[in-house]
Chains A and B, each alone.
Chain A
Amino acid sequence: MVLAADTLRLDANWVDYILIALYFVFVLGIGILARRSVSSSIDFFLSGRALPAWVTGLAFISANLGAVEIMGMSANGAQFGIPTVHYFWVGAVPAMLFLGVVMMPFYYGSKVRSVPEFMQKRFGTGAHLVNALSFALAQLLIAGINLYLLATIVNTLLGWNLYLSLVVAALIVLSYITLGGLSAAIYNEVLQFFIIVAALLPLTLVGLNRVGGYSGLEDKINDAAQLNSWPGTNLTGITSPFWSVVGIVFGLGFVLSFGYWTTNFVEVQRAMASQSMSAARRAPIIGSFPKMFIPFLVIFPGMIAAVLTSEVAKAKQSGDPSFDYNDSLLYLIRDLLPNGMLGIAIAGLLASFMAGMAANISAFNTVLSYDLWQDYIVKDREDGYYLRVGRIATVAATVIAIGTALIASNYTNIMNYLQTLFGFFNAPLFATFILGMFWKRMTPTAGWVGLVSGTLAAVVVGVLSEDALGGMSVGAIGLKGQGASFVAAGAAFVVDILVSVVVSQATRPKPDGELRGLVYSLTPKEDFHDRSEGQLAWWQRPTRLAAVSGVLVIALNIIFW
């Protein structure tokens, strides 16, 4: 019995298994139906292109609602409390609004098929290769982490051997992707969103009820730093409140989140699939509305777990460094949910991890087939050839993800550091994009040199910090934890901008004629708007909708100040 208490098991019974199995029937059903409709009926294609904006908007945030987000953010909630909301209200939401209002016109208007392809058109080969390669590698890594967490759930749930769980989980995801393909992925992401809400909303409400409402939770946590979003010194690990706020606003908000949400192809791909310019711009803006309420479904359960479940509470009080806060949500589910609800909760978690991995792999496929294979390895073949490349890449990516997941299962820390490292690639991207979009003088050489030196600057900060890169960090500057990542990102941004400006002075820019649709000052204003936009209702106009979302998110920031 002593052993049993140490291992986390969810006591699922046959009702729970039926609920989980039903979810898989629906996922595969959507895949099969999508596939059949594509070949036999034009209706599917057309209803695909007539996708209402709420569908693309939900798919936009669902693609990101994977294991890293749900387990990671509830872990942050358990460990740091309310300051975790900055990832959403300072980070994601403003970045999504910026994408919809400012950047989407360039992506959609230039008719590129992927984010790296925009790099190719604006800056040429160097920047394109850097972006495409680092993106493809990062997707394989994150797919592996999603797979590892998926297998952990299967392991926890069924008590299966972890390796067996890994392979089975990978096979399920593979069949899901090959059956469903990219078009069905969007439908599945929408279904997944509602299942996750159906799983996490009752969990949060039951948990809040058990601790005596939000005021009861406040009493039990009883720590001002955990209950107020600012200055968030516990989250950043920066002792000075002033610099902590700067780190959050500039590092986490402006650089990391803007870099992630506006240049990450996994998300941008969803919006690019829209039927018109205004629909494409609306997708991230509509997504921002549910996104700003997700903290209540992931951070709150984490905070509740830290007071209600004995394991998490004990680890938090003793400051046990070896405790894995990623399990907080699972502990809470184990303690609070009866059979029945338990099945829905497990289905929701499995849904999220599978969809997360599927999104990584399908974005990887597109970039590998179009941006790497077609541009650099085998050019000018028929479309069917690249489709086959994409299929083979799917299988290969799944196999590689199993490998990454195996490494993750043995060396959890290394994976964290690798993820931090790939985060460093993301940070300067935003600087290069935004400078390239608004400054026509920026040259192709500046494009790739800026990216590389920005990344290097982030790595240097990581190495100088106390623990951002584990054993590779030397501790020359007193920064640790998330604060080190924020500062690294900020350094990457500043260095990227400076180097790009300097290099641009010494090298030759592209001729103006090649930059229409890619640079603001060289693109006629009507390229950025639909002709019919004037007839749309206010809630169909991107900028007005973004203003409403902006006001709401500011209100949330103030309420939890």
Chain B
Amino acid sequence: MTEHNEQTHKAGAFDIRTFIGALMGIYGVILLLVGLFSSDGRTINLVTGICLAAASAFFILWARLRPVRVPDHLDAADMERPPGH
């Protein structure tokens, strides 16, 4: 948001949106398969599967289009502060 005028690069592989998108995508595909091959509660599984797949696409697209930007010029003092406290 405020970093646009600074030098930045993309953060590494770790982006929680990718994780959420991946898990929801796998869940969606499994539910779709269950819905296709089993007649028990077919509508519930198919509809939820489609919604999960759509949510997955949303998160992955979001992560692609707006990656986490990290400023290049961080000094040591900034890094010593743990994120949790």
State the A residues within 8 Å of B (CB): 15, 18-19, 22-23, 26, 29-30, 33-34, 37, 41-52, 55, 113, 181-183, 186-187, 190-191, 194-195, 198, 202, 206, 272-273, 337-341, 344, 366, 532, 535, 540
Contacts and interface: CB of A to CB of B under 8 A. Distances in A.
A55 B16 CA distance: 9
Given A15-B34, A44-B14, A202-B48, A337 B23 contact: no
Given A15-B30, A113-B85, A198 B40 contact: no
Interface residues of B, number: 41
A26 B19 CA distance: 8
Contacts of A52: 68
10 contacts: A42-B74, A43-B70, A44-B14, A46-B74, A49-B78, A113-B85, A183-B84, A194-B24, A198-B48, A338-B40
A366 B81 CA distance: 16
B61 interface: no
Contacts of A181: 84
A187 B11 CA distance: 15
Contacts of A194: 20, 24, 55
B16 A187 contact: yes
A94 B16 CA distance: 29
Contacts of A191: 16, 19-20, 23
Contact of A338 (B15, B20, B26, B45): B45
Contacts of B45: 338, 340-341
Contacts of A55: 16
A182 B44 CA distance: 36
A181 B22 CA distance: 22
A191 B2 CA distance: 26
Nearest to A47: B11
B79 interface: yes
Interface of B: 1-2, 11-16, 19-20, 22-24, 26-27, 30-31, 34-35, 38, 40-42, 44-45, 47-48, 52, 55, 68-71, 74, 78-79, 81-85
Nearest to B28: A198
Nearest to A347: B27
Contacts of A48: 83
Contact of B20 (A41, A43, A190, A344): A190
Nearest to A189: B16
Contacts of B69: 50
B59 to A, nearest CB: 8
A46 B3 CA distance: 13
Contacts of B34: 15, 338-340
Given A206-B44, A341-B45, A47 B14 contact: yes
A19 B27 contact: yes
A43 B14 contact: yes
Given A43-B70, A55-B16, A337 B30 contact: no
A532 B11 CA distance: 24
Contacts of B70: 43, 46-47, 50
Contact of A198 (B41, B52, B82): B52
A47 B68 contact: yes
A41 B15 CA distance: 14
Contacts of A22: 23, 26-27
A341 B48 contact: yes
A33 B11 contact: no
Given A26-B19, A50-B69, A532-B2, A41 B26 contact: no
Contacts of B52: 198
Contacts of B41: 337-341
A340 B69 CA distance: 37
Which 10 residue pairs of A and B lie closest in terms of their CB atoms, listed nearest first? A338-B41, A43-B12, A340-B34, A47-B11, A48-B83, A182-B84, A46-B70, A340-B45, A338-B40, A202-B48
A341 B30 CA distance: 10
A8 to B, nearest CB: 19
Contact of B24 (A18, A198, A206): A198
Contacts of A42: 74, 79
B84 A19 contact: no
A162 B18 CA distance: 36
A217 B30 CA distance: 32
A43 B11 contact: yes
Given A48-B83, A273-B85, A344-B31, A37 B12 contact: yes
A19 B70 CA distance: 34
A304 to B, nearest CB: 15
Nearest to B34: A340
